[in-house]
Amino acid sequence: MMFKRRPLLVPTLVCGLVSFPAAGLLAQQSNTPSNSSNTQVQTDNGQDQEPNPLKRQLSDKERYKQQKELRQELKGPYKTWLNEEVPYIITDQERKAFLELSNDEERDAFIEQFWARRNPNPDDPENSYREEHYRRIAYANEHFAAGKPGWKTDRGRIYIMWGPPDSIDAHPSGGMYERPPEEGGGETSTYPFEVWHYRYLNGIGENIDIEFVDTCMCGDYHFTIDRSEKDALLHVPGAGLTEYEQMNHSDKTDRFKGGGLENLGTGPQGSMDQGKEFDRIELAAKLFAPPPIEFKDLDAFVSEHKILTGPPFPFDVRTDFVRVTDNTDLVPITLQIRNRDMTFVTKDGVAKGVVNILGKVTTLTDKTVQTFEDTVAVEEPAELLEKSLDRKSVYWKALPLMPGLYRLDIAIKDVNNPDHIGLYGRGINVPLYDDEKLGASSLILADEMNTVPSREIGEGNFIIGNTFIRPRVSANPGTPVSYTRNQDLNFWMQVYNLGIDEATKSNSATVTYEITDAASGQVMLEKTIASKDLGAHSDQLTVERTLPIAGLQPGKYKVTVKIDDAISKQEIAQSAPFVVE
C-alpha cells in the first residue's frame, strides 16, 4: 500500500489555533452536578421540572461504551491515517484526543494542526516534516518488507521515526563472526544481522548503535537488546566458545545462569555488561516512544527568525572544534547566562530560576542537521539569592558535525517570565583536518579542568576524551575572557597529523607555550616540551596545562601554543586572549 498525502486530510496550512468541540464537551460534562436520572430540578417559579437526560453526567460504563462506539465508527481514510500513517509519531494524548472527535470536520482540523505543530517552517505550506515522513514510509515499504509491509517491521519503524542511519554494519548472510572483546571475543557463526549507527539522536544521545537480527532466516529483522541473540551456535554445546571459555575459565552453561537479558558468556567484562543492561532497556524505550514536541514557541523564533517584542534575554555563546574522525568534528557549544538576568521564584525558602534552551544547526540550504532542547534550573537559598546574582550559569552541548559551513541558531526563554526571550544566530565553519596537513583543535581557556575517572571518559557534560574542561565564555565573540589573580589559567588544545618517523615509529616535534603581555609584546612566560613526552608514538597529542597567574599584573594578555614538527617540516600555532582583573 502506498502512502500519499491526501488533499482531504491535509489542507493548506492556516494560521491560528483550532479548538475541538468534543474536548470542550467532555470538560463541560465533568463539571455537571452528579444527579440521578429521576432527580427533579426546580425552576425559578418554584415548579419542579424533569432534568434533561441528554445533559446528565454519563456513568463510567456509559462513557466507555460511547468511546468504544466512536472507535468503531472510525473508518476509511481516518482509520488508515491513524493506524498506518502516523502510529509511530503520534503521542498517546493526541491519539486519545483524535478518537474522541465526533465528526469528519473535527478530524480534518485535528490532522491539519497535527502536521502544523511539527512543521519546521510554519511559513512553508508544503511542510517538509510531513513530506519527509511519507518519503520514509515509502522507502521502508520498498526496502524492509518481509511477509508484511515494510512500515510494520522494526527496521521500518526505526527508519520512519529516526531517518537513515549514518552507517550500517550489515551481515546479510550471517556466517562466521569474530566477536569484539565486549561480547567475549572468540569466533562463532551468526544469523543475518545488522547494526545501525547514529552519530546523534535528538533526545537520546550520541553514538547510538541499534541491532537487528533475522533469526527466522526469512528477511524479517527484528530489533534486539540481546547481543547474543544473533549467535546461531548459542545452544550448541562446545561450539562458538568465547576466548574466556576456550581458556577453560568457565563452561558454556554458565552463560544461562545469570538470569540477565544477554547470554554473552562470562569474562573480564561480564559484570560491566550486566550493569549496562538497564541502559539498553532505557534506550529501547526512548527509541520506540513518539518523538516529543517541546519548546514549539522557541522553535518559531529559530525557524522563522521571529522578531522579539519584549526586552531581550542576554546570554553568551562559545563554539569550539575538536576532531573525532577523518570526516567528523565534535563541536562543543557553551552557553553562559548571568543569574541577574534570570527571574527567580521563591517557594519554601528556595529561589529557583528556570531556562528553556532550543538550538538548531542548519546547512546553507536550510536543511536541519542537528537540534537540541534542554531545561536548565538554578536553585539558591532565598536568603543567599542577592549574593548569587553576580554569578553565571553555564550550559554545554557537544554536537558531532561533518566539516562545512553551517548556521547555528539558539533561543532561550525565562520560564518564570515567558516574554523574556533571548536569540543567537551565527555562521560556523566546521574545519576539515587534512591527513597530510598539521592541524589543531580550538585553543580552549577554561575556568576548571581536571582528569576524569576511566568510567567517565567520553561521557557527560564538559568532558572531552579523558578531561573535564569547562570553557570560559566572553561577552562577545573575539573579546578576551577574564580571570582574577587568585584563579588559575587552564588551557587545552589537541594537535593532529604529526609526522611519524618510519624507522623509530615515533614523532619528533617541539611544543612551546607562552604568555605575552598584549600591550608591550613582552613574553611573561615561555616553556618548551618535546612531543615524545606527551606521547611518543602517536600522530595526535593533547596539550593541557594549569598555570597560576597571581604574578601577573592586571591587564590584557595572550596565551599561545606553537607546534614545530621536525618530520613533516610544518608549524602551527593557536592563540587566545585573556584579561587579568
Instruction: Indicate the pLDDT class of residue 58, thresholds 50, 70 and 90.
Output: low
Residue 299 lies in a domain: no
pLDDT mean over 71-96: 82
Give the pLDDT confidence score for residue 189 in this predicted structure.
Answer: 93
Given a contact cutoff of 8 angstroms between Cβ atoms, the answer to whether 467 and 564 are in contact is no
C-alpha torsion angle, residues 366, 370, 15, 294 (rounded to 10): -170
Terminal Cα-to-Cα distance of the chain (whole angstroms): 69
Domain end marker among 374, 402, 432: 432
Q: Cα dihedral sign for 95, 99, 101, 107?
A: positive
Q: Which of 104, 127, 150 is the endpoint of a domain? A: 127
Rounded to a whole number, what is the largest CA-CA distance in the chain? 110
- Are 353 and 489 members of one domain? no
Q: Please give the share of the chain, as a percent, with pLDDT higher than 70.
A: 80
* Shared domain check, 179 and 118: no
Structural domain contains residue 46 = no
In a domain, 243, yes or no: yes
Residues 313 and 342 in one domain: yes
Mean pLDDT comparison of 15-19, 202-206, 304-308, highest-scoring range: 202-206
Higher pLDDT, 107 or 264: 107
Report the alpha-carbon distance of residue 391 to residue 166 in Å, rounded.
41
Q: Which domain holds residue 486?
A: 434-581
Residues 422 and 312 in one domain: yes
Sign of CA dihedral 42, 43, 45, 50: negative
Residue 403: what are its φ and ψ, rounded to 5°?
A: -55, 145
Q: Are residues 341 and 428 in the same domain?
A: yes
Residue 152 has pLDDT above 60, yes or no: yes
Closest CA to 193 of 161, 219, 160, 156: 219
Judgement on whether residues 345 and 256 belong to the same structural domain of the protein: no
Domain end point (choices 405, 432, 459): 432
Average pLDDT of the segment spanning 89-107: 83
In whole angstroms, what is the distance from residue 499 CA to residue 568 CA?
5
Which H helix or E strand runs over 68? helix 60-73
* Whether pLDDT at 125 is above 60: yes
Residue 482 to residue 474: CA distance in whole angstroms: 8
Task: Report the domain count for the chain.
Answer: 4
Query: Tens digit of pLDDT for each residue in 362-373?
Result: 887 777 778 888
Any idea what DSSP says for residue 64?
Answer: H
Q: What percent of the chain has pLDDT over 90?
A: 39
Cell of 540: 595526535
Do the domain assignments include residue 42? no
Quote the pLDDT of residue 369: 78
Neighbours of 51 (CB within 10 A): 15
- For residue 155, is it within any domain? no
CA gap 180, 177 in Å, rounded: 9
Cell of 499: 609526522
275 plus 312 within the same structural domain: no
Using DSSP's 3-state secondary structure scheme, residue 293 falls into coil
Q: Quote the mean pLDDT of the chain.
A: 81
In a domain, 201, yes or no: yes
Residue 95: inside a domain: yes
0.75 cut: is pTM over it?
Answer: no
Are 438 and 426 found together in one domain?
no
Shared domain for 320 and 269, answered yes or no, is no
Output the domain CATH number for residue 328.
2.60.40.10
How many helices (H) and strands (E) in the chain? Answer: 13, 28
Same-domain pairing of 573 and 440: yes
Q: Do residue 336 and residue 426 come from a single domain? A: yes
H or E stretch covering 515: strand 509-517
At 506-525, the pLDDT tens digits run 999 999 999 999 999 999 99
Which CATH number goes with the domain that contains 562? 2.60.40.3880
Residue 39 domain flag: no
> The cell 624507522 sits on which residue?
503
Is pLDDT of 247 > 60? yes
- In this model, does residue 155 exceed pLDDT 90? yes
Note whether 378 and 512 are same-domain residues. Answer: no
